[in-house]
Each structure stands twice: as structure tokens, then as C-alpha cells.
Structure 1
């Protein structure tokens, strides 16, 4: 018996969740249930895996279990970038091995295609637009990052546009940045709205239970998942709960729950929109990894996301959110001095499952247990495609993309505590200090 001692408990004020359409939350599980398939985690991986299992096995029930409301947890808390391009931060040109980069691009494009088809087929109102993204630099060292990425994109044969400072206000309304690199393939969306829509359009043979936190697991010829009000027995378990997979007995000391913090403004008035100028919908990521991500949303709000913390138990730290809201305010004011009276309406945290070697896990974890874990910050596209392909792999299907994922070494082990926390916190602190004006 494995006792699960760390459970999700995200903070309450996620702007994406509260500004997306409300939905009828599915009941939590009670009593005893038996099914061939159980999927744990209703984020991008879990929703995709459950959907594809249901397609591959139309006569079987698939039970999908979520510890919180769908769309309230990690999958609904990111910045809403469904990115197509590879971005290997360990490589000098951010592309690295060209063959790996080409396969990564294929994976990301397939993930985008799957999502686009589902959104169109089920009329999911998540404000999905193929808007591209800006990667912008404030200082000269940021421009060097963009130039290195240009060389990598040239090697990969991908299109981009370099936008100089004088032209940036026509795009994003601010001249805060020196230079930006625009790549056209990114899709922007409202992440919580997408997750809610994906959950409400699952095949009929998927049974979703929300607010059902698993506290004990028994592995064997069957997998028994126990919670406060009952248990679920399955022939096969698919873990799709990212860093929490460690608390279910797998990949221990490999995944780092890194939390990022975001604030979302109130909607801009018509006068404020005119004062800002630029395009009415865009997304920008920083040249420096530790800088600020900024978006102008479909409902004319401004999102600012920056600041990091390492939370080993996978739960947010309220004091960090309180402290980082002030940093969001400063970042907003630096970029948008023409909007002096625009308050934040929502502020929240959300986690990433990161690994030291920037690799995830895909495949079989144990007899009757499979997983696609460790998103490394690419949850929307990579989570969707790996969840889908994992269900195909379980069904006996093979492809070059499945073989590529199976051949990945997976996340490597990290040092034990307290050395781990000391090292990660020092790295995060130094990275944020070094980001300077990019933050």
C-alpha cells in the first residue's frame, strides 16, 4: 500500500478560472467502482489519454479522476501559449540536435492539430487564435539570446520576423523592449476555458469524477485507488498528474514542482485601449527565462506572469503570492506607463513539473501502470500529444513519434534534501536577480 501524503490545493483566485464560462461540476466519486481503465489527473495529459483510450476501446469504461474542479488546477493556470517550436535552453542556438528538434516540432504541431480539431468540433469557447508570439528583449544580453535563436530557427528552416524598438508599439503598444522576435506558429488561448471544454466533450464511455483526491494506492494484478469516500479498482492505471506522480511511488527525486505567479488586470476601458494602442490580442515571452510573460487577452485585460518558487510538496505558498504581486505591479508599470490606474483583479500561482535535464517520462512505470509525466513547461501542446500517443501505445500502436518518446531517457535524479532545496532556491534567486529589467 502506498500512502499519498501530498495533495493538490491551489489558491482560490485564478483569473483564468473565474473569467471563463462556469460549468456544471461533475460529482465526486463515492462507494466502490470497477473499470478496465483509470486515468489520474484531468489536465492536458489526462484528458487526452482518457479521450483516446475511449476511442481505442469503445466498449470499455474509462474512469477519469481529478482532485479539484476541472480547469481550476495546474492546466488552467498557465499563460495560454500552445507553442509549436522547440526551444532547447541547454543548446547555444536553442535548437540543438537538428533531428531531435525536427521530431519535437512534429510532436508540437500534432498537439496543436489535435486541440484545434477538438475546439472546432465541439465549439469550445476558449478564444483560441493562431496569433503567433513575440519573444522580446530589454537589454543587450537579451538581444544576444534572440540572435542565437534566429540562428537556430534558420537551421530548422522556420520563419520569423525581427521587430525593432521603433516598430514595437504598433504591435504591443509599448516601447519598453529594444527588440522582439516574432514567430507565427504559436496558438494563444484561455487555458481554463479550454480544459473545461475538453472535459465537457469527452466520449460517453469516459466517467469523470471531480474533487476526488486519492490518498492510498494498492498495486498488483489490479490497481486499487482509495479516497475518503470509497475506492476505484482498475485493470490499468495511467498517471497524468505531473510532479504528484512521485507521491504515487514513481520517478522519486526527479521532478521539481516550480511555481510561477501571475496577475490579471481588470478589462481596459475604450479610452485605455486607445491609449495603449497596438494589436488587440497578443502574447509575449521574455528573452531571459526568468523575465516576465505578458499577454493582452480577448477581453482586453493585461496578464503579467513572473517570479518563481520551489515548493517540494506541490502546494502553493501564500506568502510568496502576496510578495510577488508587488513585483507584478512594478513590471506592469514599467511596460505600460500610459495605463496608470489599471488595477489587478486576480492574482494566483501555478506549478510546472521541471526536471534537471529538461526531459519528461513516457511509457510504462510498472505492471499495469503507465504515465506521461514532467511537462517541463510545455503542458498544452506536449501534454495533449503525449496523452494521446500514450493511449495509442497502450493499445499496441506504434509510430515514429511514439518510438521517439519511448527512447527519451526521462528525468534524471536530483540531490536529496536539504541540498535540493538549497540548490534550487539559490538558482531561482540568482536567475531572477540576473533577469534585471526583463523581470
Structure 2
């Protein structure tokens, strides 16, 4: 038996735009009193809901309970850019790619996760939140074009399709002449992340009991694992922790997880006249040539801009930090869409990413019948889904072939000692942002 006291619990600030444009959810069910279950999952993001759905398929007659510290879609799952990417996407890489053997395995696993999500979208009628639109990479500089040529060469070596676009072709899609060239890849799904996650939770509600606004303050493991919240507790023989970077809050993978925040802003609704002035397609997503540049999305009558990464080892940001970085969003937005004038950005938010120095996930059985799926390395939509469903397969002792691939991956390596991390990580991010230049 061991006891894990939570050092901190999720407490995200500032409403994410994806959540804010949805209708208000129904009142949450908070965990109160004592409960028993056959399966308990902590964390209702992409990983936790994937694990819950997979368990509902593997053990349909057993009681599955899911607990989250906040409202579904309010936390990190509803704060990302909504790209479910099938191809290599290494944030620390010059051109997103890695070794060919590693990338082929990653593509196969990412696509399995996308298809798992696609089947959920079909089952629960979530197609409006899950669009197979592909993604654009946009270059604003000659250096960016050179990076995209390297990326295209890597895709050619992987026998993956792509389309090269010039500046005018990108303008036809985005409405802006900011980019001088780009690359289109067809396999990415563009999700409305909060809408998809909330819809998935609602679709599972007949098979999975969900408690929200119920932060777990301690986990005691043993023959029965017991988690406690401020108002209740629940015990189960099998526990799956899908809390991404907050695995470290419970004492798992200590000094191995790198906590980074990234930030986004969303415009108010564009009027019909403003949409006509902008032109372009009504829905698209664009990733910068440089991984540290600005990501853009248009979703009907709104535009989202996301950029800037900060090192936040306490796993939190502040309204002040969000407002400060929002000023850079304003500059990036105006540089790309000057034709729209001073349209205010209605929502601003930050979201927690968990990375490891060797880009490895936190996955596996960490104590007897305690399973984890986290450290998604900036790809929470697709890799959270992947490792969540595989955690369920591992816990249920299924014969899923991808389990061997996941279990053979390295574990996150130890971070550098202090003060190297607290000094070096911000400096590294500063240098990477500076390298991005006009792409930012």
C-alpha cells in the first residue's frame, strides 16, 4: 500500500474560446460520499475519455467511473488548437520530423487514434466537431520555405502525400497574403476540442458515470485503490490516471516531466461584411513552418491565433501572463489580417503542455493495477487518445497489438538538475522563439 498526496490540482484560469462559444453545460455531478466501482479513471480529457470508451467496449457490464477536477472541456483538452495530426510533429525539431522508422510507427499509431475518435464521432453524432480537413503549413520567410522543403523531403521518404502551394494559392484559402508558400497534408482532423470532448462525455453517460468539479487530493493504492476529493471518495480495484503532467503532482515521474504553457486568442464573431472582406475558405487550420511560430485557425466566423511557449514548472499560469502574451497575439493577428482592422480578440487563454526531454510518453503500469497515460509532448488530442485507449487495453489485459509498441517506447528521462532547468528552459524557449522570427 502507498499513499500519494496531490501536491497541486488543476485550476485553469480564463475561459478558453472553444468552451465559450458552446452553449452552457448542464450542472455538474460532484463526487460526494463514498462510492465503489470496478474501474476508476482520473482525468476526463482526451486520454481519460478514450480510456473510458475503450473500457466500455472491453468490459461493458462493469461499473466505470470517471473523475475530473474541473468541467469537461475547461481544462487542457479544451485549450489546444484542435489539430489531430497523423504525421510527425516534433515540437523541438527544425522541421517537425524524426527518424523514418520512428515516424512510420508514430504515423500508424496516430492514425489508429484518429480512427478511434472518428468512430466515436459517428457513434455520438459529433461530426460537426470532427472534420477531416487536413492541415496547411505556411511559410512567411525564405528560411520557412527551406524548412518546408526539408519537411516535404522527409514526407517523400515516408511515402506520404502532400501538396506544395505558392503564396497566391494560400491566400485563396486563408484570405491573407502574409505567406509566401506552404505545404498541405491531407490526414489531419480539425476538431473543435471542447465541443468534441463534451460531446464524447455526453455520449458515454449511459455507460460511464462522470463526476466533475471533483479534484483528487490523494490516492491510496492497495487491494482496493481509493481516491479522495474534497467531498467524497471512491474505491476500485483498478485505477487509470490520465492527468498528463499532473502525474508528477501525485509523485509519479518526478523530475522527468517538463511543464510548458502555450497561449491562444480568438476573435469575436466576424460580420458578414468582414467575412466578405477577408475572403478565403470558411474553415481551415495552418501551422507555421517553424514550430515556434503562430498557428492559425478559422472556424466559420472566428479566427484563432496561438503562439508563445513559457516554462511554468508549477503547472499554472495567471491572468496577467495571459494578458501580456495576448499583446503578441494582437500583433501577429494584425500582421496577417490587416484588412480586418481593429477587430477585438474576445477570448484569451493559456493551456498546459507536458513534454519530456526525449519526447517519450509516460505510459504503463506504475504500481500493481495502477496504470498511467500522460506526457503527450504537445499532441494531446491524438496521443492522449492513443495512450488513453491503450491504457484501457493494458489494464484489461487485451491482446491489442499496438500495446507492444507502446510498452517498448522509452520512459521520460530525468530533467537537468537545478538551477540548469529554471535558467536553461526559458533561455531555450527564448532562442527558439527568436529563431521563428517573422513566423511568430
Name the residue aligned to 2:58: 56
Shift of 1:23: 2.3
- 1:160 & 1:53 partners in 2: Cα distance? 36
- 1:7 & 1:417 partners in 2: Cα distance? 24
Change (3 A) 1:268 1:352: same
Q: Which moved more, 1:205-214 or 1:164-173?
A: 164-173
Describe the superposition over 1:11-67 as per-residue Cα deviations: whole angstroms up to 9, x where unpaired: 132111110233224311011112221101000110011121122112211110100
The runs of 5 or more residues in structure 2 that have no matched partner are: none
- 2:277 & 2:180 partners in 1: Cα distance? 20
The answer to whether residue 277 in structure 2 is matched with residue 275 in structure 1 is yes
Name the residue aligned to 1:167: 169
The answer to whether residue 246 in structure 2 is matched with residue 237 in structure 1 is no
Name the residue aligned to 2:312: 311
- 1:89 & 1:192 partners in 2: Cα distance? 23
Residue aligned with 1:332, SS: helix
> Does structure 2 retain, via aligned residues, the 8 Å contact 1:93–1:151?
no
Shift of 1:89: 5.4
- 1:221 & 1:328 partners in 2: Cα distance? 50
Name the residue aligned to 2:416: 415
- 1:237 & 1:393 partners in 2: Cα distance? 12
Residue aligned with 1:330, SS: helix
Name the residue aligned to 1:373: 374
Name the residue aligned to 1:261: 263
Name the residue aligned to 1:29: 31
Q: Which moved more, 1:25-34 or 1:149-158?
A: 25-34
> Does structure 2 retain, via aligned residues, the 8 Å contact 1:135–1:180?
yes
- 1:227 & 1:203 partners in 2: Cα distance? 21
- 1:41 & 1:125 partners in 2: Cα distance? 24
What is the alpha-carbon root mean square deviation over aligned residues?
1.6
- TM-score, normalised via structure 2 length: 0.96
Q: 1:73 aligns with which of 51, 72, 75?
A: 75
Name the residue aligned to 1:251: 253
> Does structure 2 retain, via aligned residues, the 8 Å contact 1:173–1:277?
yes
Name the residue aligned to 1:9: 11
Name the residue aligned to 2:113: 111
- 2:439 & 2:97 partners in 1: Cα distance? 22
Deviating above 6 A after TM superposition, structure 1's stretches of 4 or more consecutive aligned residues are 90-93
- 1:212 & 1:77 partners in 2: Cα distance? 20
- 2:309 & 2:97 partners in 1: Cα distance? 25
- 1:68 & 1:413 partners in 2: Cα distance? 29
Change (3 A) 1:16 1:90: closer
Name the residue aligned to 2:365: 364
